[in-house]
């Protein structure tokens, strides 16, 4: 089991949801897990529960992230941190675009730049990128999010090429709707938000995503599980719509 080949892991967006579940699972596997997120209080609670090493650093803080990666050689990197500001490009603002690019894409690129060369040098490592079904399917109102997640998807494929000939594995996890608090972060923590996105639905839990990641890591070292799309059984991504023109020319 390759878990025994790995000693250290870095998980971003680790204070809640999928990130916290991944930290908990990897700690149970015996890894020294470094949990990175903005919320220091939540990280302290997570550390007390799991034994992880907390780092209250914004993933877009390049100086802070760089310093951490110079201190520790990470065998497993889980790029989980992500944000969303729903809205089509027709209504997007500069602040929202910059935020999503900084967190969802630029931080992932920098972490791969900082961590993966060490994996290649040691001929050992595993990168897990959490993208989204939004990387592959179009649905209304999330233009910038779609763009950043599609870029992470392509990066995940390209990393395999960059690391060719080395035992560095890359797994892209593409979740659909999952029962986490991301909806509260995006739409506000209200009863209406919970009813709209979570209550009454049969949804995967954060622990289900963590178990999928553990499955990919635990595969024999000769096996690279490159792409996993995880959606509710009752969710169908994509669709086809055709609109009539607003006016019919004579």
145: annotated active-site residue? yes
Active-site position among 6, 137, 145, 201: 145
Tokens, residue 195: 């009813």
Query: 11, 36 in Cβ contact below 8 A?
Result: yes
Please give the positions annotated as active site. 145
């Amino acid at each position: 089991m390759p878990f025994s080949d790995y000693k250290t892991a870095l998980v971003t967006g680790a204070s809640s949801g999928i990130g916290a579940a991944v930290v908990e699972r990897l700690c149970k596997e015996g890894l020294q897990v470094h949990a990175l997120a903005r919320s220091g209080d939540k990280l302290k609670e997570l550390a007390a529960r799991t034994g992880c090493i907390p780092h209250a650093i914004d993933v877009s803080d390049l100086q802070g992230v760089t310093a951490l990666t110079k201190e520790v050689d990470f065998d497993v990197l889980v790029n989980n941190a992500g944000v969303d500001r729903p809205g089509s490009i027709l209504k997007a603002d500069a602040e929202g675009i910059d935020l999503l690019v900084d967190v969802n894409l630029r931080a992932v690129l920098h972490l791969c730049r900082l961590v993966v060369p060490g994996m290649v040098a040691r001929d050992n490592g595993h990168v897990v990128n959490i993208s989204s079904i939004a990387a592959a399917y179009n649905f209304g109102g999330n233009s910038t999010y779609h763009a950043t997640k599609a870029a992470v998807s392509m990066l995940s494929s390209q990393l395999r090429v960059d690391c060719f000939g080395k035992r560095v594995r890359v797994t892209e996890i593409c979740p659909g709707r999952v029962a986490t608090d991301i909806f509260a972060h995006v739409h506000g923590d209200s009863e209406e938000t919970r009813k709209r996105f979570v209550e009454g639905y049969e949804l995967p839990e954060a622990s289900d995503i963590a178990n999928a990641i553990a499955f990919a890591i635990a595969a024999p070292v000769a096996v690279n599980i490159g792409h996993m799309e995880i959606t509710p059984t009752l969710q169908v991504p994509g669709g086809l719509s055709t609109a009539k023109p607003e006016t019919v020319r004579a």
